[in-house]
Amino acid sequence: MGFEYKIKADFTTGQLQEITDLLERNPYFEKKYNFQGKENRQFRHPENKAEMPNLIIIFEIDGIYICQFSTSYLWTWLEVLKSYLDSNKITYIITDYQE
């Protein structure tokens, strides 16, 4: 499938809303949809004409699930998210499901 990660942190409701807003302003944001009771956000690079998107993000109770389909590097197209986490001094743990 893809390269799967989770960013685990104790996000506040306000932080989650700010992160959502940042992600949806990403030029590669394509759509959001509900799947199995969870809201998914899908991102696609304009050159990607394949069925699979480049990236899917799901907000979960214990953090943010990320599946990268076109790269194994977690932060590809998510530099603004990393910058937000670091500038707000949010402590987080990355789970790499490939390991």
pLDDT at position 1: 72
Instruction: Express each pLDDT in 54-78 by its tens digit.
Output: 999 999 999 999 999 988 999 998 9
Give every CB contact of residue 38 below 8 A, 6+ residues apart in sequence: 58, 59, 60
Q: Is the pLDDT of residue 99 over 90?
A: no
Instruction: Express each pLDDT in 20-39 by its tens digit.
Output: 999 999 999 999 999 998 99
pLDDT at position 93: 97
Confidence of residue 41 (pLDDT cuts 50, 70, 90): very high
Which CATH code for domain 3-96?
3.30.310.180
End-to-end CA distance of the chain: 15
Domain range list for the chain: 3-96
Instruction: Express each pLDDT in 77-90 by its tens digit.
Output: 899 999 999 999 99
Tokens of 69: 């389909």
Q: Which of 89, 85, 39 is nearest to 65 (CA)?
A: 39
Classify residue 68 by burial, with Cβ atoms within 10 Å: 0-12, 13-18, 19+: buried
Q: How far is CA 49 from the centre of its chain?
A: 20
